[in-house]
């Protein structure tokens, strides 16, 4: 159902007033060029100090909390791999109860972080349950497209054609032979007020989406593209470039779903060919031209589907989005196939 979402509490961030205080301090143990920890830092910057984080087991948990050290400047809880959403549910329930009996005054933001394995696979049920129950919290999936912490095993969020340690490319395999699970759409299907995709390459967009997500009354979900130099086979210095390329090739379109209404938040005027993206990473190196063409087709098809969702859920998209009416070329690209 389409519904109007109250975004009056949304405090927009501009390049001039970027929050500077990062709640994940430096000195943590992430790999060089880790896009995931960068994105996580941006999320906490946008959220501010009055925030409680529930973190699933995974890279971000391991690198930020080797006792007796901690990178966390805000209250942080890690329980297990598959339950960040359930833990956040409990925190939120406690916050409500404690506020009612006067034991707590300022309502903190509640953010759950999980990787793609934790979100799309093992913690999928807990996530769905928390969305359905309507807890006011933000779930952020930091998607590096495989189980990186355990050594680059495939997840259901690993893209088609990627070689991982459990979907290796070989004489009889192109690597991952299944399509990436579409988590943002699944999240949106729960009818929660706010869903978005984001990328650390577009930090203002990312941080404003966090602000919006935290302003709505109910669950919100942000799916963040998190480049992994170690797992993807690229130099650490290329993380942001790859993240940009993922958007510019439409491999990872940036959009949001507010009250069921889809909107592209970054329209790509002249999409680059997918091969630019694939060739920059070792995980795709084995792919033939034919396979790359198939991936291009899928990317175009996915964008086309997204644009149809935008059109179907916005009665007058042309008028409402007039200043940014550059979606046409992308559409054309989609129709080419």
Partner 1 sequence: MPKRIGIEVSLAVADAVKMAKADVISAYPITPQTHIVEELSTYVANGELDAEFVPVESEHSAMSAAVGASAAGARVYTATSAQGLALMHEILFIASAMRLPIVMTVANRSLSGPISIWNDHSDIMTERDINWIQLFVEDGQESLELTLAAFKIAEDKRVLLPTCVNMDGFMLTHMIEPIVFPDQAVVDKFLPTYKPLLTLDPKKPATLGPVGVPEVYLEAKKQCEQALLDSLDVVKEVLAEVNKTFGRKYDLVETNGRKKAETLFVTMGSLGETCWSAVDNLIAQGQDVGQARIRLWRPFPVKEFIKACKGAERLIVIDRAISPGSVCGPVAQEIKSVFYGLKDAPEIVNIIAGIGGRDVPVADFEEMYRLAKKRKLAKTYTLWGLNSNA
The site for partner 1 (CB under 8 A) is made up of: 49-52, 54, 61-62, 65-68, 70, 72-80, 82-83, 85-98, 100-101, 103-104, 106, 108, 125-126, 128-129, 132-133
Nearer to partner 1, 84 or 206 (CB): 84
Pairing of strands 255-258, 194-198: antiparallel
Per-residue CA distances from 5 to 1, 130, 215 (Å):
12, 19, 10
CB of 71 to partner 1, least distance (A): 9
First to last CA, the chain: 32
Q: Are 91 and 77 in contact (CB under 8 A)?
A: yes
Q: What is the dihedral of CA 41, 299, 320, 256, to 10 degrees?
A: -30
Q: Are 290 and 161 in contact (CB under 8 A)?
A: no
Q: Are 298 and 287 in contact (CB under 8 A)?
A: no
Nearer to partner 1, 72 or 255 (CB): 72
CB atoms within 10 A of CB 177: 10
Place of tokens 């290796």: 168
Cα–Cα distance measured from residue 63 to residue 70, given in angstroms and rounded to the nearest whole number: 9
Nearer to partner 1, 7 or 79 (CB): 79
CB of 56 to partner 1, least distance (A): 11
Nearer to partner 1, 7 or 80 (CB): 80
CB of 307 to partner 1, least distance (A): 33
**Structure tokens of 253?**
């379109």
CB of 88 to partner 1, least distance (A): 6
CB of 29 to partner 1, least distance (A): 10
Nearer to partner 1, 46 or 196 (CB): 46
Cα–Cα distance measured from residue 221 to residue 256, given in angstroms and rounded to the nearest whole number: 10
Nearer to partner 1, 53 or 174 (CB): 53
CB of 259 to partner 1, least distance (A): 24
Nearer to partner 1, 105 or 290 (CB): 105
CB of 316 to partner 1, least distance (A): 39
Residues whose CB falls within 8 Å of the CB of residue 51, separated by 6 or more in sequence, listed in order: 23, 44, 74, 75, 108, 109, 110, 111
């Amino acid at each position: 159902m389409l519904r109007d979402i109250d975004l009056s509490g949304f405090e927009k961030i501009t390049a001039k007033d970027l929050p500077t205080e990062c709640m994940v301090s430096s000195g943590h143990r992430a790999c060089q060029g880790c896009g995931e920890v960068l994105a996580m830092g941006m999320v906490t910057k946008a959220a501010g100090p009055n925030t409680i984080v529930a973190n699933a087991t995974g890279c971000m948990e391991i690198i930020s909390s080797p006792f007796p050290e901690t990178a966390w400047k805000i209250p942080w809880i890690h329980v297990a791999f598959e339950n960040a959403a359930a833990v956040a549910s409990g925190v939120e329930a406690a916050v409500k109860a404690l506020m009612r009996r006067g034991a707590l005054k300022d309502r903190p933001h509640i953010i759950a972080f999980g990787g793609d394995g934790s979100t799309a696979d093992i913690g999928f049920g807990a996530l769905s349950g928390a969305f359905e129950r309507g807890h006011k919290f933000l779930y952020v999936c930091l998607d590096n497209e495989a189980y990186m912490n355990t050594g680059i095993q495939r997840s259901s969020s690993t893209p088609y054609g990627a070689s991982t340690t459990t979907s290796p490319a070989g004489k009889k395999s192109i690597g991952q032979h299944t399509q990436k699970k579409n988590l943002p759409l699944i999240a949106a299907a729960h009818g929660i007020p706010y869903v978005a995709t984001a990328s650390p390459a577009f930090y203002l967009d990312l941080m404003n989406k966090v602000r919006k997500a935290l302003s709505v009354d109910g669950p919100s979900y942000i799916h963040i593209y998190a480049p992994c130099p170690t797992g993807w086979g690229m130099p650490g210095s290329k993380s942001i470039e790859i993240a940009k390329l993922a958007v510019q090739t439409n491999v990872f379109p940036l959009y949001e779903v507010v009250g069921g209404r889809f909107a592209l938040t970054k329209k790509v005027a002249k999409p680059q060919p997918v091969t630019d993206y694939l060739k920059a990473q070792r995980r795709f190196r084995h792919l033939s031209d034919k396979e790359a063409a198939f991936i291009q087709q899928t990317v175009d098809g996915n964008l086309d589907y997204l644009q149809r969702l935008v059109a179907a859920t916005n009665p007058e998209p042309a008028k409402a989005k007039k200043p940014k009416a550059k979606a046409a070329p992308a559409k054309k690209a989609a129709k080419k196939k």
